[in-house]
């Protein structure tokens, strides 16, 4: 039962973490830069489109998840949980 709860919580935590950069951080960065919607920013070279905004969202999401895992591992080591 604990594994099922952890899986479900992980899925929804992942959605929350994905929403943080897309809905909060990138619009805040967009206030500084002259881009209206930073998450949908694309550059075209020839007929190829490069989704720079999607890459920024994925990068920020990865950094948030990596920091959360790092803090979790540090806390479990401090508490003596293996």
pLDDT tens sequence across 37-61: 777 778 888 888 888 888 888 888 8
Distance CA 20, CA 37 (A): 15
pLDDT tens sequence across 14-36: 888 888 888 888 888 878 877 77
Cα angle 38, 14, 10 (rounded to 5 degrees) comes to 175
Distance CA 78, CA 76 (A): 5
The pLDDT of 50-79, averaged and rounded, is 84
Distance CA 19, CA 51 (A): 17
CATH code (residue 68): 1.10.1200
Query: How many structural domains compose the chain?
Result: 1
Domain membership of residue 22 as a residue range: 2-79
pLDDT at 62: 86
The pLDDT of residue 64 is above 70: yes
Distance CA 57, CA 80 (A): 35
pLDDT at 1: 66
pTM to 2 decimals?
0.66
């Amino acid at each position: 039962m604990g594994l099922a709860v952890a899986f479900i919580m992980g899925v929804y935590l992942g959605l929350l973490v994905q929403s943080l950069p897309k809905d909060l951080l990138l619009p805040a960065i967009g206030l500084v830069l002259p881009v209206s919607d930073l998450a949908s920013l694309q550059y075209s070279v020839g007929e190829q489109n490069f989704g720079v905004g999607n890459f920024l969202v994925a990068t920020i999401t990865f950094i948030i998840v990596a920091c959360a895992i790092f803090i979790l591992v540090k806390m479990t080591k401090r508490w003596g949980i293996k």
